[in-house]
């Protein structure tokens, strides 16, 4: 099983680096999105504009 980085070929190393970069970018975007989501939820809930349910009829 070729999991030792020392034995990788140049192509294998390039593929690994490309995937790691892509994965890191995705995690970064997700973290920023989570921060924005929690910030937005906090702002909306603190402003008191959450919801105003009425009686249960749709039309």
Nearer to another protein, 23 or 35 (CB): 23
The span from the CA of 21 to the CA of 13, in Å, is 12
| Rounded (5°) CA angle 35-29-18 | 155
Please tell me whether residue 22 binds another protein under the rule CB under 8 A: yes
Instruction: Pick one of 12, 14, 31, 35: the residue that binds another protein (CB under 8 A).
Output: 12
Angle at 20 between CA 22 and CA 16, to 5 degrees: 120
Binding-site ranges for another protein (CB under 8 A): 1-3, 5, 8, 12, 15-16, 19-20, 22-23, 25-26, 37, 40-41, 44-45, 49-59
């Amino acid at each position: 099983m070729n999991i030792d980085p020392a034995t990788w070929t140049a192509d294998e190393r390039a593929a690994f680096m490309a995937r790691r970069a892509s994965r890191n970018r995705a995690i970064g975007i997700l973290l920023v999105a989570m921060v924005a989501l929690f910030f937005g939820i906090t702002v909306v809930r603190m402003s008191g504009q959450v919801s105003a349910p009425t009686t249960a009829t749709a039309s």
